[in-house]
């Protein structure tokens, strides 16, 4: 696939989403006490997120209720932003692109804060 938009912007979005995924893993490790629990929670939550965010299955092919619920996953708006960068050559000034960055950053911040509180409560 040829990337029509700015490659650095696409890489920045991938980086932000990667940090979001790591913060999600940190949150899972703060919630669970054993390694087996972490694996179960991670695998049990990542696949539904991937399926409902448009990564594997397009949002247009989902029932209406699933499309509404998919807006509340950490990946949906980032995936849409990446599609706009790659296929439409959009930049950060376009709403969907900067909103993808805002959503990923918000989820990351929320995951880190909740994980920090949970780790602090453990001590």
Q: Does some domain include residue 2? A: no
Number of domains in the chain: 1
pLDDT for residue 1 is more than 80: no
Instruction: Return the pLDDT at 58.
Output: 87
User: What is the C-alpha to C-alpha distance for residues 83 and 26, in angstroms, rounded to an integer?
Assistant: 27
Residues spanned by the domain of 95: 7-118
Look at the block and give the residue holding tokens 């890489």: 11
Mean local confidence (pLDDT), 34-40:
95
Mean local confidence (pLDDT), 84-89:
96
**Three-state secondary structure call for residue 79:** helix
pLDDT-based confidence at residue 10 (cuts at 50, 70, 90): very high
Q: Spell out the residues 6+ positions from residue 8 whose beta carbon is closer than 8 angstroms to its own.
A: none
Q: Does some domain include residue 41? A: yes
Q: Does some domain include residue 77? A: yes
User: What is the C-alpha to C-alpha distance for residues 123 and 111, in angstroms, rounded to an integer?
Assistant: 19
Calculate helix-pair angle for 35-52, 7-31, nearest 10 degrees: 140
Mean local confidence (pLDDT), 11-23:
98
Q: Does some domain include residue 123? A: no
For residues 13 and 101, the answer to whether their CB atoms sit within 8 Å is yes
């Amino acid at each position: 696939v040829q990337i029509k938009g700015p490659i650095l912007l696409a890489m920045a979005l991938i980086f932000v989403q990667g940090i979001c995924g790591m913060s999600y893993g940190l949150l899972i490790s703060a919630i669970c006490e054993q390694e087996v629990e972490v694996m179960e929670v991670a695998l049990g939550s990542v696949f539904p997120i991937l399926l409902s965010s448009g990564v594997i299955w397009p949002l247009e092919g989902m029932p209406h209720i699933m499309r509404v619920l998919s807006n509340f996953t950490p990946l949906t708006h980032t995936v849409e932003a990446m599609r706009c960068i790659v296929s439409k050559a959009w930049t950060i000034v376009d709403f969907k692109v900067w909103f993808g960055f805002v959503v990923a950053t918000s989820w990351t911040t929320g995951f880190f804060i909740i994980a920090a509180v949970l780790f602090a409560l453990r001590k």
